[in-house]
Each structure stands twice: as structure tokens, then as C-alpha cells.
Amino acid sequence: MITIRDIAKQMGLSVSTVSRALNDNPRISQKTRDQVHEFANKAGYQPNYNARNLTNKEANSVGVVFPVNNRVVDNIFYVNLLRGINNQLSKKNYVLSVAIGDTTETVIENVTSMIKRGQVKKFILLYSHLNDPIIRLLEKSPVDFVTVGKPTHGDSWMYVDNDNVKAGYDGTKFLIDELGCQHPVFVESTNGWPYEVDRLTGYLTMVDEAGLRPVILSSSETDNTETIEFIHEHDEIDGVLATDDYTGLRFYSEYRRQRPGREVEVVGYNASLPRELTNEHFHSVDLNPKEMGRSAARILFANETKQLTGEQRHNIIAHEIMV
């Protein structure tokens, strides 16, 4: 098997230059890196990742942290995020290590074990929550991390997100302009996640432009009492912009129980529901989670050179309304 020393000897380069070129070190010119990569590929060179990572005291693994939420395991949105992440990791000969649990304490234990025992130094969080203890743990640890979702309230870290203000605006515009709704209601969870706040901003902007009255419902995941009362108090509702598909489906199902024989148009987000659970009145905004996952992994590895600018440390992924 050909080694780095063999490549260096045959190319007339130093071992350190070849090693840095194969690891895409920016101190080596792009021309030399390309030449070394081409030579190594033709010669059938296979890097010893275990030895390299042992030397660097870093596992060839990326920790992927799920939000503490009982819906994540059956949500296709997260599955597609993982597919996108894994697509990039396989190119780097890295694997996924998943941290998931029913409580924050359980996830913290998993992440702490990854860092201290598993030597995992790269993490992707599939969420971005305000004052999250896991994010605070990573900020204090010698690791790099990227979140799916932008930070808020002065925090600054690498992230991938959608333009959720525009997504909220476009979803509301679709209800009004394409579906003819004149009384669209905004339905959110009681959690106040940053993406919900942004989508609400987009909704309010579009409703104001259309000269309509905004109506907002914070819907509990465990108690439908307030939703039922809301439906009976707002007979005029003809459209719903929900902050995600599950929130939209819960409202839609309750609406049909309370208003048999009547229909309401619904726009949700994530394109995460099987079509057999919905019908022609249920629409979703596809946030392209596979590309979000790929982008998160690309940013994470690009940051190894420590040369990313402020703008390069985040990426905004386009969305598409599924009719």
C-alpha cells in the first residue's frame, strides 16, 4: 500500500508538504494541493483516518444532537437532515454519533460523554433554542458546533437556517392570493421558538399589506381546550398558517371535528406529513432539510482552517411551497 512517504518521494516533495496538501491545509497552494490529490488518487492512496485522529486526539465522528421533543423520532424532517449531514460526512470518512433523549439531562450526559470519552470535537445541533444548556456546554468546551436555526438575542455561532420571515410572508401570501383566504389565522406552539417568531413577523407583514386583521392562536400540544374555544369564537376563519405541519394538522383535525361539513385551507412547514394524512386543503412549505444538513456539515469542516468570515459562518437555504 502506498504511503505519504512514497508520494513525497515520487513527487519530489517533503512529507510534511504532502501531508498538509492531503488535508487541504490553506498554507499549501491550491495548485500543489490539486496535484497531490490527483497523484494520490491515481496511486490508490488510502489515508489511515484512525491513526490520524489518534494523533490529533479526535474521533472521526460528528455528534448530532436532537432537540428534547417527543416528535423528533417520527418526523421525516429530521430524517432528511440526517441524510444531508451523512452525505457530507461520508466524503470525509466521518460517521454520525447521535445524542437524543427524553430529558435535557439525558442529552447533556450523552454530549458530555462524547466530548470527554469519545474525543468528539465536532457537533451539529438540529435546533437553536434560547438559553439552551447544551449549547452553553458546547460554547465552554474545546469543540466546534453548528446549529440548524439561527441564534438570537446577541448570541453568535455558526448556523444554517431558512429565511423564516420570508417563509412566513410567502405562506401567508399563498393563502391570500392563491387560495383566496380573507381571514387567515396564525397558529403557533406555546414554545416561542425563534423560527416561530420570524414566521409570525412574515405573517403580520403580509396581513398588513393585504389590509386584513391578524388573528393569532398559541396552541398547546397536550390540551385542545383553548383551540376548541378559539374555533367557536372565530367563525370567520378560512385559512391557517401554522408554524409546522404537526401544529397545522392538529388544528385542522380539530377544526373539522368542530365544524363538520366545512373546510379551511392550511399551510404548514417542513413537508413532513405523508399525503394520506392530508388532502387538497393542506399545503406545506418545503424547507429543503437535506440541503440544510449538507450545508451544516460543509460549514463545520470548513471552519477547521479558522478562516471563515462572518458571512461564511452561516447559510440561508431557499424554501418552496408544496401545493
pLDDT digits (tens, 9 = 90+) for 181-233: 999 999 999 888 888 999 999 999 999 999 999 999 998 888 899 999 999 99
Beta pairing partners, 283: 267
Return the minimum-mean-pLDDT range out of 37-46, 280-289, 293-302: 37-46
- Tens of pLDDT, residue by residue over 18-45, are 888 887 777 888 899 889 889 888 888 8
Residue 17 has pLDDT above 50, yes or no: yes
277: exposed, middle or buried (C-beta count within 10 Å: 0-12, 13-18, 19+)? exposed
Return the minimum-mean-pLDDT range out of 87-91, 226-230, 267-271, 309-313: 309-313
Name the CA dihedral angle for 116, 122, 125, 129, rounded to a multiple of 10 degrees: 70
- In the numeric block, which cell numbers belong to residue 95? 460517521
According to the model, what pLDDT value does residue 312 have? 62
Spatial strand order of the sheet with 184-188 comes to 215-218, 184-188, 239-242, 265-269, 282-286, 320-322
Any residues with CB less than 8 A from the CB of 154 and at least 6 apart, and which?
Answer: none
Q: CA–CA distance from 140 to each of 111, 112, 134 (Å)?
A: 13, 11, 10
Between CA 142 and CA 120 the distance in angstroms is: 10
Residue 308 has pLDDT above 90, yes or no: no
According to the model, what pLDDT value does residue 81 have? 94
According to the model, what pLDDT value does residue 244 have? 92
According to the model, what pLDDT value does residue 2 have? 83
According to the model, what pLDDT value does residue 88 have? 92
Mean pLDDT, the chain, whole residue set: 88
Over range 246-273, report the average pLDDT.
Answer: 93
Collapsing DSSP to helix, strand or coil, 239 comes out as strand
